[in-house]
Amino acid sequence: MNSTLYSLIGLAAGVAFILALKGLSHPKTARRGNLIGAFGATVATLAVFFYGAPLNNLGWIVGAIAVGLVIGVPAARKVEMTQMPQLVALFNGVGGGAAALVAIVEYLNLGAQATTAEVIFTVFTVVVGCVSFSGSIITFMKLQELMTTRPVVFPGGRFVIAATLAATLGVSVWVVVALGTTPLLVLAVLSLIFGVLFVLPVGGADVPIVISLLNAFTGLTVAASGYVLSSTLLIIAGTLVGASGTILTRLMAEAMGRSLFGTLFGAFTAKPQEASGSAEERPVRSGSADDVAILLNYARRVVIVPGFGLAVAQAQHTVRELADLMLSKGIDVAYGIHPVAGRMPGHMNVLLAEANVPYDQLAEMDEVNPTFGQTDVAIVIGANDVVNPAAQTTPGCPIYGMPILEVNNAANIIFLKRSMRPGFAGIENELLYDPKTMLLFGDAKASLTKVVSALKAL
């Protein structure tokens, strides 16, 4: 294959990626957009094989791709939709790791022939790629709840981070000036440590924003390695992801009412929260499935607020059954979907769509909030932070400023909860103690099944 044809194929793949992102921005074209992207990536990969034919180490290369396929495809196929955000985080991390490795190998390969510009781009790729890799691993562990979801802050934390950052920058200069393998490896290790320190102070609810940011970072590393490898395709693809990822990060932060700065550094500036130990002994009103059914039976309008707990209990189908039953009784039913219900923006829509909940019953936050005043019953299923009025009333709490679903305006509130444990952000919810709130403890699916049969009997 001659180099003109190879470049043209690379350009076509770049165009495919633009069309992919464009398609992914609209519900009707999203799936097609993704397939166009996959097609572009496949063609670009095959083109390298033909362009360089015969490739050195061909057997090894094909073998490594096979290993990647054997790991990646089943992981993507089998993951529960509830755990999908952490898988995306992990995929992003390995991409950053791959970019860093590519830069290191090219650096070793070029040796003393590397131009200063190439070394600078290599340093950038190694630093940002390693930060993206280790940072994504931490976000994965937070989402998988392998570690605490609360912000991790230790005394002097900000100085340690500042020192690590300064050391990373210092070693970067060292690599550019001295050109050697050892400084580059030191740099990689420092960057990995910085990635961990960078993500640790981020609270659980803000993790999706960080994943999106790291995604944009990885895009930029791919663009930088494109420069070192003289690949226009990598420059285009990486820059596209870097730019769109930056916009997406900002949109997400806006949807959650957070500033990017507050997300990343909020844990250092927030005032320590007062202990909420006494709160747990306060009385709450808990009810039975029959009480809930009676309340629902005489309601005219019911809003269901689904949260991550619903998805964990795999109760999407049961909640749909309950909604259908209420509709057949002439009760007006809507689902109030918070932009970040679940673990990521749009996550809940995916989970409910999986359970065949009709699209027209899903109401976005801005649409449903003004209607809570005319709502007889709001049923909150496995959600907590997204209805917590502390976001509007308690300055300094980690979710302050986040827009919430104002279920506190409804005439009655029912919480289906497993326990009094606070939500993902780890904040006490005053609404649980409100006199118009009734709690139904237990697994969401089991509780809903009981409510459905009680309601049928009425």
Q: How far is the CB of 125 from another protein (least distance, A)?
A: 10
206, 360, 366, 385: the active-site residue: 385
Distances (CA, A) of 390 to 29, 72, 181, 205, 385: 38, 41, 52, 15, 9
Q: How far is the CB of 4 from another protein (least distance, A)?
A: 14
Helix (H, G, I), strand (E, B) or coil at 417: strand
Do residues 171 and 187 touch, judged by C-beta distance below 8 A?
yes
Question: Which CB, 81 or 294, lies closer to another protein?
Answer: 81
- Exposed, middle or buried: residue 267 (CB in 10 Å: 0-12, 13-18, 19+)? buried
Q: Distance (Å, rounded) from C-alpha 455 to C-alpha 458? A: 5
Cα angle 241, 242, 243 (rounded to 5 degrees) comes to: 95
Q: Which of 408, 388, 407 is nearest to 398 (CA)?
A: 388
Q: How far is the CB of 422 from another protein (least distance, A)?
A: 24
Q: How far is the CB of 199 from another protein (least distance, A)?
A: 16
Q: How far is the CB of 456 from another protein (least distance, A)?
A: 19
Helix (H, G, I), strand (E, B) or coil at 379: strand
Question: Which CB, 43 or 294, lies closer to another protein?
Answer: 43
In degrees rounded to 5, what are phi and psi of residue 275?
A: -65, 140
Q: How far is the CB of 238 from another protein (least distance, A)?
A: 6
Question: Which CB, 33 or 422, lies closer to another protein?
Answer: 33
Q: Distance (Å, rounded) from C-alpha 301 to C-alpha 55? A: 67
Question: Which CB, 52 or 373, lies closer to another protein?
Answer: 52
Q: Distance (Å, rounded) from C-alpha 458 to C-alpha 453? A: 9
Question: Which CB, 40 or 262, lies closer to another protein?
Answer: 40
| C-alpha 114, offset from chain centre | 38
Residues sharing a CB contact under 8 Å with residue 166, sequence separation 6 or more, in sequence order: none
Q: How far is the CB of 139 from another protein (least distance, A)?
A: 12
Question: Which CB, 66 or 173, lies closer to another protein?
Answer: 66
Q: Is 385 a catalytic residue?
A: yes
In degrees rounded to 5, what are phi and psi of residue 452?
A: -60, -45
Question: Which CB, 159 or 359, lies closer to another protein?
Answer: 359
Question: Which CB, 45 or 393, lies closer to another protein?
Answer: 45
Distances (CA, A) of 104 to 68, 182, 225, 228, 432: 20, 11, 10, 11, 54
Q: Distance (Å, rounded) from C-alpha 301 to C-alpha 398? A: 32
Q: What kind and span of H or E run contains 332?
A: strand 332-337
Q: How far is the CB of 438 from another protein (least distance, A)?
A: 30
Q: What kind and span of H or E run contains 221?
A: helix 207-228
Task: Transcribe 70-135 into DSSP letters.
Answer: HHHHHHHHH--GGGHHHHHHHHHHHHHHHHHHHHHHHHHHHGGG--HHHHHHHHHHHHHHHHHHHH
Catalytic residue positions, numbered: 385
